[in-house]
Amino acid sequence: FLGGKTAIVTGSNSGIGLGVAQELARAGADIVLNSFTDADEDHALAESLAGEHGVKVRYIQADMSKPDQCRALIEKAGVCDILVNNAGIQHVAAIPDFPAEKWDAIIAINLSSAFHTTAVALPMMRKAGWGRVINVASAHGLTASPFKSAYVAAKHGIIGLTKVTALEAAREPITCNAICPGYVLTPIVEKQIPDQMKTHSMSREDVIAKVMLDRQPSGEFATVAQMGGTAVFLCSPAADQITGTSISVDGGWTAL
């Protein structure tokens, strides 16, 4: 049902972004994949996604830590019916030890990039007479954990931006919502395991079971396909009146 629509997914050469791109392509949307790299594999990924789903897929390199490149991504795409602000990084450290440059990078990539892309995409959606902005926040947009100051601040921030975007477009057929994943086993989570092992003096298995999934009452990781399915739902007519809210896909984490 998304035939003829174009979706731009930031940070989509791996993990949740790629999972969302997969499901939007399965629903018929043309896709713009993005990351900060410009590797052969990035372009090959676009080709294979296009072949798999019979849609057009382009890969456009842009570094989401740079405001100009965020804006240029949308301008280069030239059309944006669905914008998924997904690019994100993590750093785990106590506040006194948290490197200032990591704070700045996390705020830039996980929060400010969505402001810049949305600023360019909204006029395109208005011109087209339809649009969806989907911000990938986190359970950490609604709750906190120690040692993740920048990440939690950025994710709470993007939920605020989601509400403002929704209100500014409320009279138009344009919605903006956030998806709040719990733990999904993607590279960003994989990379946290060694730090968490050090911080908690635990084995890998114990970090997964006692630190990560301890917060997730289902006891299971959520999957990238489930994030993609939620994005597809938010693009469907059933979601026309869903705007300015966040949908948790977290195995019950935020119910605790």
**Could you give the residue numbers annotated as active site?**
151
Place of tokens 């057929």: 173
The number of residues making up the chain comes to: 256
**Least distance between ligand NAD and beta carbon 249 (Å):** 9
# residues contacting ligand NAD (CB under 6 A) = 27
Stretch (H or E) spanning 149: helix 149-168
Q: Given the rule CB under 6 A, which of 47-55, 59-67, 75-83, 241-249 is the region that contacts ligand NAD?
A: 59-67
Q: Is 15 in the site for ligand NAD (CB under 6 A)?
A: yes
Q: Which CB atom, from 18 or from 125, has the smaller least distance to ligand NAD?
A: 18
What whole-number distance in Å separates Cα of residue 256 and Cα of residue 243? Answer: 25
Kindly tell me which residue out of 181, 207, 235, 246 binds ligand NAD, with binding defined by CB under 6 A: 181
Q: Given the rule CB under 6 A, which of 46-54, 114-122, 186-194, 232-240 is the region that contacts ligand NAD?
A: 186-194
Answer yes or no: are the C-beta atoms of 40 and 64 closer than 8 Å: no
Q: Is 251 in the site for ligand NAD (CB under 6 A)?
A: no
Answer yes or no: are the C-beta atoms of 11 and 86 closer than 8 Å: yes
Q: Is 183 in the site for ligand NAD (CB under 6 A)?
A: yes
Q: Which CB atom, from 136 or from 159, has the smaller least distance to ligand NAD?
A: 136
Q: Which CB atom, from 3 or from 90, has the smaller least distance to ligand NAD?
A: 90
Kindly tell me which residue out of 162, 175, 177, 186 binds ligand NAD, with binding defined by CB under 6 A: 186
Retrieve residue 49's tokens. 């996604």
Stretch (H or E) spanning 115: helix 113-128
Positions of E strands within 50-194: 57-61, 82-85, 131-136, 174-181
Retrieve residue 252's tokens. 């019950």
Q: How many CA atoms within 13 Å lie on the side-chain side of 47? A: 5
Q: Within 10 Å of residue 220's Cβ, how many Cβ atoms?
A: 12
**Least distance between ligand NAD and beta carbon 70 (Å):** 9
Q: Is 177 in the site for ligand NAD (CB under 6 A)?
A: no
Kindly tell me which residue out of 9, 45, 184, 235 binds ligand NAD, with binding defined by CB under 6 A: 184
Tell which positions 220-249 bind ligand NAD, by CB under 6 A.
Answer: none
What whole-number distance in Å separates Cα of residue 227 and Cα of residue 244? Answer: 18
Q: Is 111 in the site for ligand NAD (CB under 6 A)?
A: no
| Start-end of H helices in the chain | 15-26, 40-53, 67-77, 100-107, 113-128, 149-168, 187-190, 192-200, 204-206, 224-234
Where on the chain is the footprint of ligand NAD (CB under 6 A)? Answer: 11-17, 35-36, 63-65, 86-89, 109-110, 136, 138, 181, 183-184, 186-189
